[in-house]
């Protein structure tokens, strides 16, 4: 009788162990499939085929809508160059977002607001650089120049506005360094 109790307990423990392992394997598989689906959706929306870039964007929780916000990231980057954002800088970035077609109720607009509330880390900067590299690689020379010109014009206007507001003669060194990084990426 004691042997039966031990055997029953052994089977229960065995079942628990394998059930837990099965659950973990299923969860891992679901996660991998979800990542793959999200990579395919981003590839379809953007035309990006570089798997490393797609994986990086997915790991940042970007989707086709929030990726749209990445196009305005340089403005956020310049605004944060001095380590803080004031109301004027925030308003300028959000105005640019609205003018670019970001609806205030959209995920992309909320992502931009989040970047304005909490300074983005270098991972976002790297993702933006990779995204721009891939996009610029797919554009004609003329289109790439136009994109670069438009982006640099917008960030320069923001930097100049900040300088004017604070009575500075020129862009601060921190902002100038960011402007150079943006220009170099494009």
* Residue bearing the bigger pLDDT, 18 or 125: 125
**For 61, left (φ over 0), alpha (ψ -120 to 50), or beta?**
left
Based on the fold, state whether residues 82 and 151 are members of the same structural domain: yes
Q: Distance between CA atoms of 33 and 27, rounded to whole angstroms?
A: 10
Based on the fold, state whether residues 33 and 115 are members of the same structural domain: no
- Number of domains forming the structure of the chain: 2
- Per-residue pLDDT of 79-108, as tens digits, reads 898 888 889 889 988 988 888 878 899 888
Q: How far is CA 118 from the centre of its chain?
A: 13
Residue 170 has pLDDT above 70, yes or no: no
Based on the fold, state whether residues 41 and 5 are members of the same structural domain: yes
Q: What is the pLDDT of residue 156?
A: 84
Based on the fold, state whether residues 106 and 176 are members of the same structural domain: yes
Domain containing residue 18: 1-46
Q: What is the pLDDT of residue 21?
A: 58
Long-range contact pairs involving 160-166 (C-beta distance under 8 Å, separation at least 24) = 161/88, 161/92, 162/79, 162/88, 162/89, 165/88
Express as a percent the part of the chain with pLDDT over 70.
75
CB 73 within 8 A of CB 54: no
Based on the fold, state whether residues 10 and 92 are members of the same structural domain: no
CB 162 within 8 A of CB 89: yes
Tokens 């086709």 identify what position? 64
Based on the fold, state whether residues 33 and 62 are members of the same structural domain: no
């Amino acid at each position: 009788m004691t042997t039966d109790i031990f055997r029953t307990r052994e089977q229960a423990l065995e079942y628990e162990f394998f059930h837990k392992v099965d659950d973990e394997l299923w969860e891992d598989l679901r996660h991998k499939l979800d990542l793959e689906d999200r990579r395919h959706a981003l590839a379809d929306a953007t035309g990006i085929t570089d798997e490393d870039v797609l994986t990086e964007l997915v790991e940042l929780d970007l989707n086709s809508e929030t990726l749209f916000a990445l196009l305005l990231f340089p403005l956020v980057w310049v605004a944060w160059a001095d380590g803080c954002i004031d109301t004027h800088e925030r308003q300028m970035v959000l105005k640019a977002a609205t003018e670019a077609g970001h609806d205030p109720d959209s995920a992309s607009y909320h992502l931009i607001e989040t970047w304005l509330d909490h300074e983005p880390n270098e991972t976002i900067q790297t993702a933006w650089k990779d995204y721009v590299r891939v996009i610029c690689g797919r554009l004609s020379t003329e289109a790439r120049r136009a994109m670069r010109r438009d982006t640099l014009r917008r960030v320069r206007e923001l930097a100049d506005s900040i300088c004017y507001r604070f009575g500075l003669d020129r862009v601060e060194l921190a902002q100038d360094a960011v402007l150079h990084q943006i220009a170099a990426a494009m």
